[in-house]
Every structure is written in structure tokens, then in C-alpha cells.
Structure 1
Amino acid sequence: MLIYTILLLPLFVAVMNMDLQTHGHSAVLDAQGKYKISWTHKDNTITFLLQVQTLGYVGFGFSSNGAMASSDIIIGGVYRGKPYFQDYFTDSKRILHRDTYQSYKLEYAIENGTHTTLKFSRDLQTCDLYDKNITESTIRIIWAYHNDDIEGTGPKYHGSNRGQKSLRLLNPEKKKISVPIPYKDTTYWCQMFRMPTLDKKHHIIKVEPLIQKGHESLVHHILVYECERDTNDTVLEYGHECYHPNMPDSFFTCETVLYAWAIGGEGFTYPPNVGLSIGMPEDPTYVLMEIHYDNPTHQEGLIDNSGLTFHYTPHTRTYDAGVLEAGIWVSLYHMIPPGMPAFSSEGHCPVECLEEALNQEKPDGIHVFAVLLHAHQAGQVLRTRHFRKGVEQKLLAYDNEFDFNFQEFQYLDEERTILPGDSIITECQYNTKSRSSMTWGGLSARDEMCLSYLIYYPKINLARCESIPEINEQLQFIGVKEIYRPVTSWPLIIKSPKRYNNLTFTEAMNTFQWTKKKGNTFNERVRKMPINVRCSKHESREWSVSL
């Protein structure tokens, strides 16, 4: 089976194998993946590595217009254990001639049981009338191969084993961008990428993390989001700190999670009947990669180029995979008092949301096959609970000894079906015994999250199903009577009683004298409070849900 690879470092680049990856830049020239090249250049010299699925001759060259006429060509291979390699050109009638001045220098030619590999170099400008100068402009590569080697009469006609591809050899798409990590606790770094342009549907079948050696504790999690399609390519040139006032507006359109990896996790392989669809008009054209860097010791001078590898294939599976983010809406309204050995928070994906989405698309339900549970440093027990008509079913996923430094997808022993009328609760138990101030829902490792990422099939138009407790009742617990309205600042400001006047609600919560007993009472109240629900489609749209 043919499998391609996408690197997110943090740019997407198609690569072939470890030999080719060592040569700087690489590309696949044919649709079947049989002809692969990589190249690197230094000063006035460019070096090529060709790896072609043939035991016959390999042709490679440069053309002004992609046609055979008036082209600069090399032909090489291995015949009876000995390499052969010649510099040729074609005239205006496409007749092949051996070039008197051999500008290309063969480094080696080898065969194994299936492939021929050629490594050779040449000057960028050779001063040879029949050679094409290599500049920063687009150059048209022509290629061909045959199952037989060259004999005395010259190369046999290659038939359909030929083609052309336009590349920029001296200014190609970068494979990776190094990110300077600020010397502060938490950095979220975002960069947007264009997905590979494909002529038909493909499936991503495996995802692997590529964490820079020595940065295993620095890179806390990596998320890949789908973005709106009408994005301007100019934003692809650089990354930016996420959630910053100066972040490009187009970054805010990226809300649907395609993949999630967290610290300590390994790669993820989709089941043999499921893949993540790319290449179709409705599939993402642009994606955003978000990396959470955790730097509690404020180390200076850190440079990171961690990312992800996506393996994809044109041999599509039966079903498209989807990702559902369920749990607690990340917000300051998620509050955990200090000094609590066990405080439980719940994020609801209610009946109304699932029913609306499933009834319109998949009334027979969706099938969950893996779950990633996600929290931060205070998390100790995480569970994804499943209810049908109000009756609790077997847990979808759980971790009774959650480790902040080890978070990965749990493959379910058996697929679980989610039907219209079902609901999901993500429950997180936190330990804040060592903390003297409130813990808030937020982005840093000291803040908290409570999320489940459900991987399922077939895909439906539901990206997020989350809740957050209503803020006014939480504030009433500490005696807040009134806030200033209209709300013009964040966090919102308290008006009364006098002891909280002009304090933000976060300041007021920290002013309150918390005890373990008060914390337990608050916990019981919060779990019974009204909730606000986020029931999101893809591309930032919402389902119309009434609770």
C-alpha cells in the first residue's frame, strides 16, 4: 500500500524516507510514489538524490516548458553491478545527444531488490550552452524511468513512466521553523499551514509526535485545528504567539480540533477501516498547529522545532474519522478553591446537543474508538461518563492515577456507540492541597482544563460539546450581590457588597476565606448549578440548542 508522509515542523512537507530526509528538501514526482527526489545546495553546488522504483535506467532533467525538446538531462543506473551515468541534452526535435561537457558528477549509483538510487551534483551555473542554469525561479523537472537498463542502442522508450513537476530548488518550502521560547511559564505558539494539494481523496492513517531531543518536558501538548477556507496565504510565512492581541485575525477561524497530542504520548494509528480525510473540497485547506510550551524555571535561549508527522495514503478506508472535544469550556468561570484534596468538576455534553447533531446526520449513531483525557497539574482522576436515557453506561474512558506528564489516547477495548438521546459528562477530580489561591480554568499548566477528545466514525458536523457553570450563582456563594453592568472589562467588576466593591471576581474569590468544608459545600453547589453550553459545528458555527 502506498503511504505518504506529512511533516509539521511546523510546516507541512511531503517526505519519503530517512535516507531522503537527510538531504534538506524533498518531493515525490509521480502520483504512485515511485519516483522520489531530495536535494541540498551549498555555495554554487547543488546535490541530488534520486530514489526510483525500478531496476532499469533512471532519467532526470530540466526543461524550459516541461516538454522533452531542448532539455538538459541525465540518465543513470546500475547494470550487472556497475554504475553508468551520462549528461545528455535534447534538440528542438527531441533527439537525445550526449553532452560533450559532462557537468554532472556521480557520487554513487546503487540498487537493491526493488529500487535504484543515484546521488550526483553539479554547479548552479555551468557555462555550458546545453545546461539549464538553476536559479531561485521556478524550474520544471522532467523525469522518466524504464524497467530495463541502457544497452548499446541507447535507452528504450519509457512509455507512460514519465512526467514533469515544477519546483523551486533554491527557495523551497521550509521543512521546519525554529521557535524561540520566551522565558516565562507558559507560551502557546501558533502557526498556520496549507494542506497538501491532492487530486483525489486521501486518508491520514497515522500520526506521530516529533519532539526535539531534550525538550520532552518543555512541549506539553500539540493541537491541530481546521481553519476556514478563505484564508490568505500571507499568514503562512510566520508563526505567532497564540491568544495574543496582535495574533492574525485568520488564526481565530481555526476552532475544530483535527488531532491532539499531549506530553508523554506516543503515536496514534487509526483502525484499518477508518482514516482522517484530506484532499476533498469539504476537507480542510488550512490548518493551525498550536504548541503549548511549559517553562516553569524560565530557562532562557531555548529554541524548539518539535512537531508532528502525518502519514497519509490514496487507498482510502470505509469511514472518515471525526474528533469531538467534550468537557468544560476553558474559562475563568471554571473555579477550584485552594486547599482541596479532592474537588470534582463536570463538563456536560447534553442530550440536546448530541440529539440535534446526530438526528440530522447519523440517527444510527457514531462509534467511538479512542479517547484522550486532558487536564493540567492539579488533575488526579479523570473520567468520561456515558448516559443513555438518563441511565449511566460503562465508562467511555478513565484514569484513576492521572499523570500530568503522561497523556495519550486510550484505545477502547470495544467501540462504543453514541446515539441520539445520549449524553456525555467529562469529570475531573483535582488536588489543590498545596495551593493557597484559587485555580482557574485557563491555558497555563498551573491553570486547569477538563477535556475529553473522542475519536469516532463516521464524521458528523459537531466539533465541540462543552459546558461551564453559570457565573452569577458561583459568585453568590461568596456573598456577591451585584456586578457592574454593562460588562465593559474583563474579568468583570463587582459592585456590591462593600467588601468586594471594585474588585474583579477573581480578586474577590481569592479574598474569600476558604476552608475544606466551604470548598466541599461549594463543590456540591456548583455541580447542581445551571450551565451554559457550547454546541459547535465545524468552521465556528453553532447548533441551535435550547436547554
Structure 2
Amino acid sequence: MPTHPYYRRCRTAAAVAAVIVTAAALVADASATGTRVYTAPLDDTGRATVYWTVGYAAQTVKFETHFADAGPFDWLAVGFSDRGNHTGADFCLVWRDWKGVTSMLDTWTDDAGRISVDERQDCDDFDMARIHGRGIALTFTRKFDTCDDERDYLIQDGTTHLIWMVGSGPLYAVDGLLVSQARVKGMQRVQLLKPERLEVDLPDRISKINVLADKVHVPAEETTYWCHVMKIPMDLSSKHHIVRFESVIEEKSKGVVHHMEVFHCEAGTNVAIPLYRGPCFSEKRPYKTQVCKKVMAAWAMGAEPFVYPKEAGLPIGGPDFNGYVMLEVHYNNPGLRKGMIDSSGVRLYITPEVREYDAGVIELGLEYTDKMAIPPKQPDFTLTGYCIAECTAVSIPPSGIEIFGSQLHTHLTGTKIYTKHVRDGQELPELNRDNHYSTHFQEIRLLHRSVRVLPGDALMTTCHYNTENRPNITLGGFSITDEMCVNYVYYYPKIELEVCKSSISEQNLKSYFKFLNEWERQRTSPDSAVSANYNGAEWTPMRSQVLHRVYESSTLSMQCNRSTGDRFPGDWENRPSTKVLYALPPPARHCRTLSQPPPPPPSSV
């Protein structure tokens, strides 16, 4: 048998048998120590599931993956990749050779899907157990940062694309195995590094309101967005607080219900909203339902219940409150399963016992406008929206506001989002970041630490986009094929500021279109509509780079708006963008030096 520098195999079949009859222990161990266990389905049938715990002190994640059907010589791999691809990925792979020896190896795949054993082995504490007859439970530990920059995935805050494969054996060796030889494989998005949080007691008087889909016949299509409008079935003529929300997922729908949002319908008290139930992007959806767009709750697969701080709750109700809400469910059905009927949704915990502070939501990022655009064929194009110091100076009280939650948002081409916090030119710790963002995995996330924002602070939200598969320019706007760049931040105490976003100033944009026409003979004009100008230009790589520089150097048109839609007093046109004078150093890493001994060999059973 070929050997590997860090390869170690089990010497006796008895050792394998001993592990096979041992019960999988992650859940039991966590319960004994009080550690929180998280879980998510790995496929849409419920036959593959992942459990994990996070050790912040040791900077490790312990995984336990259950596969319902695995033969005695099957090989199984669980790992990570930047966008959910099985190529260019990092795997912990368990295999049993032709002699019956079972081992776990740290492996990686190249762009062609060829599996190789990593020279450094970082899949630790391997254990395995037979469960439920033909089922297998695999347990292993992985450091957040293995310091193997060339081959290993860096586990970070935000979204992680978990990938997995099962293939048939026995194998003579792992090196040279191909991803295409896997019998079955899949991908799931999760937030691995969830914040540690204290439990908050619920008020004595609490109403649990279910906002549920109603017997939806889930189409046999990979992606469906289903909308369901309803009126909240309780008296909300006086102000209440939402203090918690959570998912209500039918057992048979786990793995298919991917994420959900509840939107409030912002209309007059007595305005009736059509009780539409159907595809969200259907032409048959009534126009009146377009007012249902203010996020009240958002859940994504693997998310825990969202619990507000004990000091605050999201206000709902009052004499001017419209009681209609809309549930949006994203069904992810890659297996094209037929005959599924689903009534999943979100449960809101509403109390009349109003807490000390009303929580509020502020929109940061880019204005919803076609003034900002992304040229086609761009692998990584960035746009930044600003909440400038002048706006927070006139809208935030001297004591500041406390931000405790965040929902990042783009449409289909967004790949990364982060919000920087700047005070007097000094960059402070970031407000939120997701380096592997996907529009198909959106949730309101509690921050690891609350962030106090003071008057005069600035917040810069940057979005990265990939338009390599788009032949035409992508404009900013409301359509799913348009783009956005938003961070909805949840905070207390509630203030008048609701929108703090920017776009390029009209003056600078008109000057740019005039330049394109006069110097580069493009079909643009300062007198034409913005969308016509963008679509009238030929977007070469060089012209796309120049547009990016124009965005970065231009002055801003600011939305510094109250909840009424009115701007705070002041001149908000042609404002200078925020400059970071003193950047934060990169996060510290704890990597061994070359003089230190190599890591131990991989675990075997």
C-alpha cells in the first residue's frame, strides 16, 4: 500500500469493531458540559445531517455528520469550499482500504476534481460509529485557522458552504480519486460560528403567532420563492413588542425549506392587502402586495431562534398599525421531488409588556437606484455605500445607539459584504462581514458583540459582485435581476433615523456620461436617462475599471432619512465620502514557525 508522510493505519480489525459499536457522542458530550449543539440537514431528503459545537477558547469546531445509508467499504468526505463547489475544495475524508483498515485523511481537490492527500493533516479527533443499521456517524475536530493557506479552508464568521460526498469502495488509495466517482454528493450553507449568547426569559404575557404557508404544493423545481399574505390574528391597537422569533418547519420539509422572511405591509391602518398566495415573482401577484417589504423576521437553515436583548423589543401595533404581513419562503428542491405539501413558516413571540427600549432598524449601504451599476463579465466588482459622519451627527443622540443584529442583503450576483465602522478617521472593529455571502442564505444574525455607534461615526458598507455570466450591465434597483447593497442593522434605543445610504452624485455621473460620449464615442448623453446611458456604453475591461474609479472618487448623494421618508435638514448632495486614515491591522493568527515540529499524524480507527 502506498504510504503518506502523516498516514497511520489501524493494526487490528478488533479496533475497528470497537469503534463501530460505540455510540456517537457529540450530542451527549455537549449536553453534559452545557455546550450548545447546532444542526442542519445536509440534503433535501433528511438522510444526511450535520451537528456541530463551537469551542471559541480553543478556536475549533467539532463536527458529527450522520449518513443514513453507507456500506462497509464506502468512503465519505465532509468539507468546505468558497462557493459550494466540490472542486477546489478542502475535505476530511474517511475511507476503508481493501484490508479493512479505516482512516480519516485531510484531502483537497483541484479544479478538475482530483482528490489529493494534504501534506499537512488537520482533521483531528476522528471517531466513527454505526447508527441505525446501515447508518454511519463521523466525528472530527477542525481548527478555525489551520495556517495551511495553500490547501485548507479558513473557517470565518458569516456563511460557510459545507460540502459532502459518498462513494463506493474498497479503495487501494485515496490519491487520484475523482469527485465524479462519488455516488452521491451535496452542499449546504450554514453559519458555523454562531455567537455565544445568554438566555433571555420571556415575559409572563406572551402570544405566539404563527405566520405559516398554507398547504403549498411545492413545485418540482430547484428554486421556488413562495409568498403568503395574512392578517395577524390578534388585537394590536396598542403598542406591543416582538421579543423572539423562530422557524416552524414541518418534519417532512426539513432540507427543502431553505430560508424565510416575514415582511410588514406598510400601508394605512384600514387598507386591506390582498391575501395573495403564490409565487413571489409571478405576474399574477397583486400590485398592492408590493408594500409588504419591511423586514420583521428572517430565518435561514441552521439558524437558532432570534432573541432580542432583555432591554429591547421590536415595536409592533398601535393606532396607526396595519395588521397585514407577508411570509416569503425559499424552497430549495435540487432533487426535483414531487408531491410535497408544506405549511412551514415563522413563529413570532409578541407581548404587551413593552420593554425599556424600542428596537429599530436602520438601512445602511447603497440607495435603491440605477445610478449605481455593475458592468458585465466582472469576476469581482465592488460598490460601497456610505452612512457619513454628518448624518449620524444630526440623527444619533450623544449617548449613541447599541447595534446587536444585522442582516446583509444583495440580489443574485452578490458574493461578499462587510460594514466598516470609522470614528475620526480611525477604523474600529467591523460591524459585520460575510466573505462567502449568498442571496439564497439570508437571516438576521446576532452580532458576537454589540457595537455602540456615536454621533459623528461613519459606517461604510461594501458589496462584491460577480457578473461573469451576465452579457449586459446590471443596474441597481428592486427587481431580483437588479442589484442591491444593504445592511439592515438592528439596534436600540429607536431613533428617527431609518435610512443612511448613498449613491454617486448626479453631477459626477452626468459628467462621466458626457466624457464617454465626447471622448470615447459611446451612445451616452448627460440629457439621457441613467439606464439608457449605462446600456448605451460598451463595457470593455478598461472602461469597467474606469467606472469603478469614478465611483470611488466621486462625491455622494446622501439619503439621511427619517422613518417618514423626509431627509434630516441639511445639504445632502455632493457630500465627500468617508476616508479611513488609520486602518485596523489584519486579525492576529497563531501559526507555528518552521522550527516547530510538524503536526501529528491523522487519527485512524
Q: TM-score, normalised by structure 2?
A: 0.50
Corresponding residue number in structure 2 for 1:526: 551
Question: C-alpha distance in 1, partners of 2:340/2:542?
Answer: 44
Matched, 1:426 2:461: yes
Mapping of residues 143-154 of structure 1, within 5 Å: none
Corresponding residue number in structure 2 for 1:193: 231
CA contact (8 A) 1:427 1:450 kept: yes
Question: C-alpha distance in 1, partners of 2:257/2:562?
Answer: 29
Amino acid at match of 2:204: L
Q: Higher mean Cα deviation, 230-239 or 181-190?
A: 181-190
Mapping of residues 381-392 of structure 1, within 5 Å: 381-392=416-427
Corresponding residue number in structure 2 for 1:2: 204
Tell me: CA distance 1:339–1:357, structure 2 relative to 1, closer, same or farther (3 Å). same
**C-alpha distance after superposition, 1:151-205 (max 9, x if no partner):** xxxxxxxxxxxxxxxxxxxxxxxx8474887989886746252462158654322
Mapping of residues 391-430 of structure 1, within 5 Å: 391-430=426-465
CA contact (8 A) 2:297 2:444 kept: no
Matched, 1:451 2:491: no
Mapping of residues 108-257 of structure 1, within 5 Å: 176=214, 178=216, 189=227, 191=229, 193-194=231-232, 196-197=234-235, 202-210=240-248, 222-227=260-265, 230-232=268-270, 234-235=272-273, 237-238=275-276, 251=289, 256-257=294-295
- What is the root-mean-square deviation in Å for CA atoms of aligned residues? 4.4
- Structure 1: segments with no counterpart, 5+ residues: 11-174, 483-495
Tell me: CA distance 1:540–1:179, structure 2 relative to 1, closer, same or farther (3 Å). farther
Tell me: CA distance 1:535–1:498, structure 2 relative to 1, closer, same or farther (3 Å). closer
CA contact (8 A) 2:407 2:444 kept: yes
Question: C-alpha distance in 2, partners of 1:480/1:214?
Answer: 59
Mapping of residues 358-507 of structure 1, within 5 Å: 358=396, 362-443=397-478, 446-470=481-505, 473-474=508-509, 477=512, 506=531
Question: Percent identity over the alignment?
Answer: 32
- In the TM superposition, what is the alpha-carbon distance from 1:517 to its structure 2 partner? 3.2
Q: Secondary structure at the match of 2:393?
A: helix
CA contact (8 A) 1:253 1:540 kept: no
Q: Secondary structure at the match of 2:395?
A: helix
CA contact (8 A) 1:294 1:445 kept: no
Q: Secondary structure at the match of 1:425?
A: strand
**C-alpha distance after superposition, 1:464-508 (max 9, x if no partner):** 2222224674465466779xxxxxxxxxxxxx9668999975465
Instruction: Find 1:342's aligned residue among 363, 377, 380.
Output: 380
Amino acid at match of 1:349: C
Q: Secondary structure at the match of 2:273?
A: helix
Corresponding residue number in structure 1 for 2:360: 322
Q: Secondary structure at the match of 2:448?
A: strand
Question: C-alpha distance in 1, partners of 2:336/2:455?
Answer: 48
Tell me: CA distance 1:520–1:445, structure 2 relative to 1, closer, same or farther (3 Å). same
CA contact (8 A) 1:356 1:545 kept: no
Q: Secondary structure at the match of 1:519?
A: helix
- In the TM superposition, what is the alpha-carbon distance from 1:396 to its structure 2 partner? 0.7
Amino acid at match of 1:205: V
- In the TM superposition, what is the alpha-carbon distance from 1:304 to its structure 2 partner? 6.0
CA contact (8 A) 1:265 1:406 kept: no
Question: C-alpha distance in 2, partners of 1:441/1:238?
Answer: 27
- Structure 2: segments with no counterpart, 5+ residues: 1-202, 573-605
- In the TM superposition, what is the alpha-carbon distance from 1:211 to its structure 2 partner? 5.2
Amino acid at match of 2:234: P
CA contact (8 A) 1:382 1:426 kept: yes
Max Rg structure: 1
- In the TM superposition, what is the alpha-carbon distance from 1:268 to its structure 2 partner? 1.2
CA contact (8 A) 2:513 2:525 kept: no
CA contact (8 A) 1:195 1:287 kept: no
Q: TM-score, normalised by structure 1?
A: 0.55
Question: C-alpha distance in 2, partners of 1:227/1:317?
Answer: 24
